[in-house]
Structure 1
């Protein structure tokens, strides 16, 4: 059995100013950390995570807080599975939000198509929205350490959105060719 190593960060920071606590929380969530409880989080052990958590330890000290960074393993397979489930659940929440935005993107294209609104300005706006979806999915993928259940569906939905925009773009180009 492959032993999975994690980094366990425990910290305590002063309640005020709240913006420091919130910024710390955002940075940890942005790294893909799961919270075991308030002020206690886990990340898979990687060189990047070690480096970034050590920098966070320094930041916590500057906030007049306390922290402890440990390398840890699960006691047994069932404990390891519990941790994996938490990581996957956090990513699936992000994938759900992503899928909702795909719905919005598809609805916007459908609305413009139904209105026969085939303009370059609209195409450009939708292209920007697609680039945001692509970037967002790339960020989620980077934090999907253990293969969340909605990963494949999200990949497919992005491909569907890309194909939909290609089709819409062709209609825009055709409409403008007719006007010449």
Structure 2
């Protein structure tokens, strides 16, 4: 017997313009939905997902497409386990890619530190990159309905990125602050 409630959206959209198909696909993937067949997407039944699926349904309907929205509350244990596994596989791929992104960020911090490239410009650039990582993590976390085993590792890596940027920023402040302080002292 099913432990979760699910929403199943089956849809057809006209082949042209392809932008509608792409928009629907992106929106459903952004929700964290899993395609079980072409144009058949499943997602956990939450208030937010239900609201967003209704918006997607309106887009499909207004583009001349067709939709069928099903609510599933009674799945066999095997079917539910398969669905949860599909969701977790998607999240694992996302977290692995995110961890690669964190690795690149940490290598950049290491490289700039090794080069002693302690400039305000580098701080700004790296702050922007860390901001992207934080937004990326929040998006994945929002879609991680069944707590992927990589969630904690991803959070730890993000925390490490934040700590390394703080260290780098402190080094830049000490380096540039001393230079600026000397210039100010000389001007006095």
> TM-score, length-normalised on structure 1?
0.95
Map Cα deviations across residues 53-80 of structure 1 (whole Å, 9 max, x no partner): 1222221111111110010135321211
Gaps of 5+ in 2: 183-188
Gaps of 5+ in 1: none
Contact 2:34–2:87 at 8 Å: present in 1 too? yes
Deviating beyond 4 angstroms after TM superposition, the runs of 4 or more aligned structure 1 residues are none
Aligned length: 180
What residue is the counterpart of 2:148 in the other structure? 148
What residue is the counterpart of 2:82 in the other structure? 82
What residue is the counterpart of 1:115 in the other structure? 115
> What CA distance in whole angstroms lies between the structure 2 residues aligned with 1:90 and 1:163?
28
Alignment pair present for 1:72 and 2:75: no
**CA RMSD, aligned part only?**
1.4
Larger radius of gyration: 2
> What CA distance in whole angstroms lies between the structure 2 residues aligned with 1:176 and 1:128?
20
What residue is the counterpart of 1:34 in the other structure? 34
Alignment pair present for 1:14 and 2:14: yes
Map Cα deviations across residues 34-57 of structure 1 (whole Å, 9 max, x no partner): 000100010101122222212222
> TM-score, length-normalised on structure 2?
0.91
Map Cα deviations across residues 12-53 of structure 1 (whole Å, 9 max, x no partner): 111111111001100111111000010001010112222221
Contact 1:74–1:80 at 8 Å: present in 2 too? no
Contact 2:126–2:165 at 8 Å: present in 1 too? yes
SS at match of 2:15: coil
